[in-house]
């Protein structure tokens, strides 16, 4: 019998991509899932697909602590408690420090760092009660920096260190903490960047070995479920990502940064030109969600 049978798992960013696919696999193992996302239509569709006995959903924005408190309260009222929280919601911006829209930069930090804090802060009392598990979804970006994607990389490093600091804080309370670190996954985030920016595609093509390869959402979800089941301290997707963690000190030396700087001299100006032509510093999909959410929250 799976260790996940009967466990209640709350997933932010649960409507699409890795969040949605992980939810499907968790339910297949007997878990119950609570899906949280801004995108109401796919959220409702996934809840219907998984069935009311296995899944419930609630629209919410991770940058609002009240939304996350409401999501946890919904989980407790629906399924009796929370055993696992997967802080998965995340967005990215395009463009160098000189070119990125400052408001977009702030929003990336807000979602990817403050959103993790709000999710965990809201859920901790319920997790302590059940001696549960927190999975903070970080990235390979926490280990190896990428020019032109500064907000995303900075935020994912912040998410990793949040998990590192949280783990000893809650260990004596019986709560375990893990962080997930993925290379490029074939999610809407990566698909949109490839569609919008030839510079992003050039960057992937220029990366050596497996660093530029894209992993399927299904493979990533399999790794997440296995990690959640064993309450893993770190989850690496693919497994070679863990080697980059150990190489991080070397990557930030003058020698280690030389090749990155050489590629950036070509790719970053092109990215900035394309961002200017697009008229936005994030994907159309993410920008549309942000606009819809603002219209809902400001409606009379």
Active site residues: 152
* All residues at 6 or more sequence positions from 152 whose CB lies less than 8 Å from its CB, including other chains: 92, 93, 108, 112, 139, 141, 146
Sign of CA dihedral 258, 260, 261, 266: positive
| Look-up of token digits 């993925």 | 182
Helices 188-196, 284-298: axis angle to 10 degrees equals 120
CA distances from 83 to 8, 52, 175 (A): 5, 18, 10
Strands 133-137 and 8-12 turn out to be: unpaired
Nearest CA among 66, 68, 104, 105 for reference residue 89: 68
């Amino acid at each position: 019998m799976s260790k996940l049978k009967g466990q209640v798992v709350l997933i932010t960013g649960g409507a699409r991509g890795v969040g949605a696919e992980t939810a499907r696999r968790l339910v297949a193992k007997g878990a119950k899932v609570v899906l949280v996302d801004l995108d109401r239509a796919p959220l409702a569709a996934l809840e219907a697909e998984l069935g009311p006995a296995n899944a419930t959903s609630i629209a919410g924005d991770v940058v609002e602590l009240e939304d996350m408190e409401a999501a946890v309260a919904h989980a407790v009222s629906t399924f009796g408690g929370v055993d696992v929280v997967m802080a998965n919601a995340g967005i990215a911006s395009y463009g160098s420090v000189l070119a990125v829209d400052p408001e977009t930069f702030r929003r990336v930090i807000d979602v990817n760092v403050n959103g993790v804090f709000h999710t965990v802060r809201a859920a901790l009392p319920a997790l302590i009660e059940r001696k549960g598990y927190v999975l903070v979804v970080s990235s390979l970006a926490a280990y190896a920096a990428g020019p032109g994607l500064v907000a995303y990389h900075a935020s994912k490093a912040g998410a990793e260190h949040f998990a590192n600091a949280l783990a000893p804080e809650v260990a004596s309370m019986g709560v375990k903490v893990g962080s997930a670190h993925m290379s490029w996954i074939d999610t809407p985030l990566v698909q949109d960047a490839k569609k919008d920016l030839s510079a992003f595609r050039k960057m992937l093509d220029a990366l050596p070995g497996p660093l530029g390869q894209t992993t399927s959402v299904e493979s990533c979800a399999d790794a997440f479920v296995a990690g959640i089941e064993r309450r893993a301290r770190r989850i690496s997707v693919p497994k070679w990502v863990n080697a980059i963690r150990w190489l991080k000190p070397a990557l930030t030396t003058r020698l280690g940064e030389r090749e990155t700087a050489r590629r950036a001299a070509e790719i970053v100006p092109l990215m900035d030109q394309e961002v200017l032509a697009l008229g936005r510093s994030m994907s159309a999909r993410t920008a549309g969600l942000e606009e819809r959410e603002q219209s809902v929250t400001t409606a009379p």
